[in-house]
Structures are given as C-alpha cells and as structure tokens.
Structure 1
C-alpha cells in the first residue's frame, strides 16, 4: 500500500505543505494576481525549504509585475517600450521611431535579446559587443545606445540591482570597416554628367529624374528634401529655395512627407544661382497637380518618389558616363566641393547644406579644405607682395 499523504500548514500560516508519496514536497499558496483575481498555485521540490524559495521568487516577481515592472523583461522589451513612449509623446517622429525599431531588432535576434535583462552578466554583454564590429560605426553607436538605455531603465525600476553598462569597461566598440570617404565628381566628370542629362529623354512610360539630380548638383539638397519640394517652395522673385520638409518612411516602411527636415538646421533658404534657376523653371513648367501638391511626383504609379528610385537612375547615368558609382549623395558632396573651390566660407556652406554644426562641415570636407592650402598660400603671398611693394 502507498504511504498516506502527509499534510501540514506552514508555521507562518501563509501556505500549506504536503509531503507526496514519492517523498517530495508540495507547497500550495493562495495569491491575488495583477488583475485582482484570487488564485492558487503549487510549488514542488525535494524539501519544504526549496518549495518555499520557489514561492517567494514567484511572489516577488508578481509584486514587481503589479507595480508595472516585468522582472522577466529583455533589453528589446524595455527599449521598445521606451521608443514607443517617446513616439507617442512626440519626442521622436515616425522616421526616428522606425530607425529605433530597426536598431532594436538587431539586438532582438541575438542571445542577449532573448534573455531577461536581470540574468545578463558583463561577460554576456561584452561578448555581444565584440560581434558588432562588422557594422558601421553609426550603426554600432545606435545599438550601444539602446543597450545603455535599457539597463538604465531596468536599474531605475528595480529590475536589476546593478547597472553593468555604467562600468568604464563597457566601452562602445569600433567598426572594423574603414570610414567612408567623401567622393565628389571631378570637374571633368561633372561636365560629362551634365551634358548627358541635358540630352537625355526618358523612354516612354518611364519616370524622368534628371531634374532632381541637377537640383542636387546645383544646390546640395538631400534627395528626400528635393522630392518633398512644392511649387510654393520655389521663390524665383527672391531667388531662394525654401527647404521645409523631406520624404521619410514610417514604421510600416511607407513613404510620407514629413514636416521638417532630417535635422532642425535642415530648415533653411538656399540661394538660387543661374544654372539652378534654369532647372527649377523647367521643373515648374512640367509640374502637374497631384494629391500632395509635390513638384516631383510619380504620376504613373500615383505615389511619392523615393530616394532609391532616383538613386537607381543615377547609377545608370554613371555607367553611361563612365563615372564610378558612389551613391546619389555624391552630388551633394560635389556641390560642397565646388563651393570650397570657389572660396565660399565654411560658415556659409554649413547653412546651405543644413548642417547642425560647423564642425560637421569642416570634418566632412577636411580633405577638400586641405587640398586648397597651396592655392591659399599663393593668394596670401601675392597679397603680402602687393602690401610690401605698395608706394
């Protein structure tokens, strides 16, 4: 015959122990869940102490959950909640929210992204950080920032008792990739490029993007800003382009017109030189009404034109002109390079390009500025000679 089950109440009166026929113990408690419902739960172990420890762990996690803290939350769980909160409070917009989710998704696919943050150690994080070096530095910084945010929030909420990301040993890794250099078209390439576009006619039923490319070349505008232009943004009377918006992508990867630009400094007025004026007049002449009132619009597919669409056309033009393809952003760099060669002051170029800081302009085009040293020293020499030889 089986031994009778032995049942006895815990000394503190907060649960009931039962020794089972196989010699193990069961600890049964009554508790109130996060929704206010009374429930029962059993815990099993080789001793009453082990059962009680399991129950205490469960109740601790439950109390955390009731106070709005998920003790089992992972880095992606916490980072997503923060990103969503910032978006809903209008601290970030759709484009920024989408970028944050993309970054968090990288962490989510890793081992640390599947493990509760409370169970992660310094070695876990260190090993993960070592795997990031094949990404670009900008991507690494974004990933590192999300991890730091998650640990800070977890520490503040009491999910963890120590913020290991606050350690000086937890440095942001650096990319093994060489930083991309700024490539601009040479003067010869620019001449060939412009001549090809002036004679180009798009095949039937194909969109034509040559005017957008020429505007980028003659204004330094980002392609998203160009594709978001409206006729009222072109002020030919005062000779300025009013940059006020850009094409962006939302969390569903759908293009939309974002009020405002990539940075706050991107909202700017760009002066119109003669070559740019000719292109803008042509664009205004070919304008056709559309639901967004955009100067450039994909009428054939009834949708906003994206940067990638123009980029594909730019690549084909480069092949025809025997120019090394460097991405459509090369036209913005070409504009900046011609400005520097024409002795446009860096502080003025910063404004035209929509940079937030003069150091971005100086750092981005450091090689171009350095190449102007010989010409500048010659000008200085001529000036000194005239000064000293003046009667």
Structure 2
C-alpha cells in the first residue's frame, strides 16, 4: 500500500505512524504476548489519536491476560471455575457441585452465556431474566445467584469496571408457575395407599419399591436416605434407624452413596414404631447380595436405586388408588402430619425429620399446626378446669 507521508515514531517512542493513501492512519507497535513471544500489530483509524486509543486498549487487555485475567471470560467460564474451586476445597460436595453445573448449563445455552462478560450490559441481562420466568422459582433463584457471583468475581479481577448486578434494578425475576405445595395424604388416602401396597406384587423381572415407600411413610426419611440404608443402620435393640448416609448424584451424573446426609442435622436416629418394624424385617429378609451391602439394590441393572426410580413407581400407585400425585416427598409430609396430629412436640419432630432449624418445621407444617388449634384449646380448657377443682 502506497505511503503519502514518511513513517515516523510517535513522541513516546512506542510505535510508528504512517498515513495511508486513503487518508486513514496506521499505528504499528511491537509487543510481547502472554507467551513471551515478540509480535507486531497494526491499528487503523481516521486519526492518529484513534489509533493510539485502540493500541492502548489492546495493551491494557494484554496486561490483564498476562496477570491471569481472561478478558474474554463468559459468565459460565467464571461460574464453573468458582464451582470447581469450591468443590476442590470441600466447600461443596459432589451433589452440590453437580447441581451448580446444571444451573450454569442454563446460562450456557443462552446468548449471554456465549458473550464475554465484559461486553454484557444491563439490557442483555434484563432480557435474559425475562426468559427465566418459565422455570420454577427455586431454579430461577439458583441461576440469579450464579450470575451475581460471576459479576462480583469479574469486578474483583478487573475484567469489568462496574458490577451493575449490585444495582437495585437487577432484581431476581419470579416464575410464571405457582409454587408447588406438597401436601400430605389424608387419613383415608393413607389407609387406601397402605392396603394397595400390602397386596401388591411386582411383575416378574421388575424391581419392587413398595418397602421403600412404606419406610418413608412410617419414618419421614428422604428417599435418598432410604435407598442408602444398610443392615447396620437398623438397631432393633435400641429401637431406632440410624440415618448416616444418602444417595447423591455426582458431577458425572452417576449415583453414589454419600457419607453424611443432605444437611448436617440429617444425621439422626429415628424411632422404630411397630408398623415400621414389620417393614424393616421384611426388607432384611429380602435383601440380596450387592457391592455396597445396601438394604435395597437394583440387582437387575447392577446399580444403586435412585429417588426417581421410586418416584415413578409411586406415581403409578397413586393413579391406581385414585390419589392426586404430589411427588414422593408427600410421604415425608404425611409422616410429619400424623406426628403433629399425635401431639408430637415440634422440637422432637424437627429432630426426627433432620431439619436444621425449628422454624423450618414450624413454617413447613404451619397449616397442620393451625388446624390443631381447636383441640389444643379444648385441652387447655380441661386442664384449667381440673386446676380449679383441685384448688
């Protein structure tokens, strides 16, 4: 390309300028890249000032790369690195790590997941938030949290000059769907449900999950905890089930037995009442040899039984019994409801259910506690009357 002016160094001696035949300018510099290799690069513009500004931005971004900051990092890139770091440091375990990766995958599939975070604006994020309303509120909150984390890290590392996610305008969206409220089986439904299971026999070659459902119904255990039970966890002498582990799903999407439970208070002892004792004895009698010495095992497919497997069976049972399907967790709620109806104190129920806080128990079963007000008033009245008679 022909030159109209002689090539000259700029005042700082950082590169050379030349004006091209079309009147635009070229600014050529020599620099050392992040791999310590010497390279040359040209910048073009309508004036020498524009060329200089482009070069300065390039060198500024290059310095970030040299210091380990990826200026082209996306939200998923940053979020994945944080999730992996937390997993490696044991802040989260395999199940939590797997959940984080699933949440990040939702962002990854979107337009903002493919764009460097430094190029995103409030409008980009706002438009993405509008697409989230089709998900449940619990999923939306997780996605929102991952985005906030990514922006905070990007700001701390200097990838972005301002974290606009801290703005009051960037609120977490809400779902179009109503929050699902898991309700317990009524006494009539429970009776019908138990009668059906007692008379049920699985077709030849198929797994039978009725004992797991009955254990959950009579103990309030989460299904992951039920499927992780071993004979050593059943202590008939002490009259308790020792809940010490659960079935979790790892980052590779495979199930494994996790030592420990969903929460730290999940490690607990649950009393064995007579109906539960009968089910546990049957389970021990029917236990088959397996690599993990589990009470329940999918011998046909040589794998750990998952909650989803049992849940599919539970759905079929509900249909047969003409009971509204509310998810297998309804059995845990049924156990809690029967406990409240039997006047089991909330603090005791909290321990049996493995809740981390008494407020979780009170809030989750507020409707059931409220329904017991009338009987409680009657009991209080009888108690006061007896006191008056004694005096």
Find the aligned partners of 1:362 and 1:2 in 2 and give their Cα distance: 82
Give the structure 2 partner of residue 122 of structure 1. 122
**Which is further off, 338-347 or 98-107?**
98-107
Q: CA deviation at 1:88?
A: 1.2
Find the aligned partners of 1:31 and 1:135 in 2 and give their Cα distance: 48
Cα RMSD of the aligned pairs, angstroms, is: 1.8
Find the aligned partners of 1:51 and 1:201 in 2 and give their Cα distance: 80
Alignment of 1:237-248 (within 5 A): 237-248=237-248
Q: CA deviation at 1:3?
A: 5.9
Give the structure 2 partner of residue 366 of structure 1. 366
Alignment of 1:169-188 (within 5 A): 169-188=169-188
Give the structure 1 partner of residue 347 of structure 2. 347
Find the aligned partners of 2:132 and 2:387 in 1 and give their Cα distance: 58
User: Are the equivalent residues in 1 in contact too, given 2:182–2:326 (CA < 8 A)?
Assistant: no
Structure 2 length-normalised TM:
0.95
Asked if residue 54 in structure 1 is aligned to residue 83 in structure 2, the reply is no
Q: CA deviation at 1:197?
A: 0.9
User: Are the equivalent residues in 1 in contact too, given 2:241–2:270 (CA < 8 A)?
Assistant: yes
Q: CA deviation at 1:130?
A: 3.6
In the TM superposition, what whole-angstrom CA distance separates every residue of 1:13-52 from its partner, at most 9, and x where no partner exists?
A: 1112233333332222111111212122222223222222
Asked if residue 41 in structure 1 is aligned to residue 41 in structure 2, the reply is yes
Q: CA deviation at 1:129?
A: 2.8
Q: How many pairs were matched up?
A: 391
Q: CA deviation at 1:386?
A: 1.9
Find the aligned partners of 2:384 and 2:156 in 1 and give their Cα distance: 64
Asked if residue 297 in structure 1 is aligned to residue 294 in structure 2, the reply is no
Structure 1 length-normalised TM:
0.95
Q: CA deviation at 1:390?
A: 3.2
- Secondary structure class of the residue paired with 1:101: helix
Find the aligned partners of 1:365 and 1:358 in 2 and give their Cα distance: 11
**Which is further off, 175-184 or 259-268?**
175-184
In the TM superposition, what whole-angstrom CA distance separates every residue of 1:31-79 from its partner, at most 9, and x where no partner exists?
A: 1111212122222223222222211111111101111112222222211
Find the aligned partners of 1:185 and 1:160 in 2 and give their Cα distance: 52
- Secondary structure class of the residue paired with 1:248: strand
**Which is further off, 41-50 or 143-152?**
41-50
Q: CA deviation at 1:5?
A: 7.0
- Secondary structure class of the residue paired with 2:106: helix
Give the structure 2 partner of residue 164 of structure 1. 164
- Secondary structure class of the residue paired with 2:112: helix
Alignment of 1:1-391 (within 5 A): 6-390=6-390
Find the aligned partners of 1:5 and 1:270 in 2 and give their Cα distance: 89
User: Are the equivalent residues in 2 in contact too, given 1:182–1:365 (CA < 8 A)?
Assistant: no
User: Are the equivalent residues in 1 in contact too, given 2:4–2:19 (CA < 8 A)?
Assistant: no
Q: CA deviation at 1:2?
A: 5.9
Q: CA deviation at 1:356?
A: 0.9
User: Are the equivalent residues in 2 in contact too, given 1:103–1:142 (CA < 8 A)?
Assistant: yes
User: Are the equivalent residues in 1 in contact too, given 2:182–2:329 (CA < 8 A)?
Assistant: no
Find the aligned partners of 1:363 and 1:304 in 2 and give their Cα distance: 33
**Which is further off, 312-321 or 341-350?**
312-321
User: Are the equivalent residues in 2 in contact too, given 1:5–1:21 (CA < 8 A)?
Assistant: no
In the TM superposition, what whole-angstrom CA distance separates every residue of 1:315-344 from its partner, at most 9, and x where no partner exists?
A: 111111111111111111110110010011
Q: CA deviation at 1:111?
A: 3.0
Gaps spanning 5+ residues in structure 1: where?
Answer: none
- Secondary structure class of the residue paired with 1:112: coil
Find the aligned partners of 1:218 and 1:133 in 2 and give their Cα distance: 37
**Which is further off, 261-270 or 211-220?**
261-270
In the TM superposition, what whole-angstrom CA distance separates every residue of 1:166-186 from its partner, at most 9, and x where no partner exists?
A: 223333233332222231111
Q: CA deviation at 1:4?
A: 5.9
